[in-house]
A = this chain, B = another copy of it.
């Protein structure tokens, strides 16, 4: 087994570990009422304030009609507000309402809590080693992004 094969093997092993460990496979986000997709959309809106729907479509590779409906639902539940763009009248800005922002914060807090549980037993030294290992992975695999 050469070095490349060994690396492939290692990444596969890591993927198995990490998907299970981080619960990426569960389709409902941490027992909340939101699906993983909905959660990611909320995060996305929070991150890029005043993004238009199509930005999210591109970023997340989801169908535009699918997103349109989810956003519609968010509006109905007063999580999000739509606003027609002035420059381009086709585009719609999407922003979090106060309630939406609070809800998004709550979701973030829940992931933080989940992560906290995983790292609760770690010493300061282990935290350091973990952080730098993660950084190493990002810096090596994320070279050209």
Contacts and interface: CB of A to CB of B under 8 A. Distances in A.
Interface of A: 3-4, 6-8, 10-15, 17-19, 21-22, 24-26, 40, 60-61, 111-112, 115-116, 118-119, 121-122, 124, 126-131, 133-138, 140-145
Query: Copies of this chain, how many?
Result: 2
A135 B10 contact: yes
Interface of A is mostly: helix
A20 B4 CA distance: 22
B129 A143 contact: no
A141 B126 CA distance: 10
B130 A137 contact: yes
A10 to B, nearest CB: 4
Nearest to A108: B12
B17 A138 contact: yes
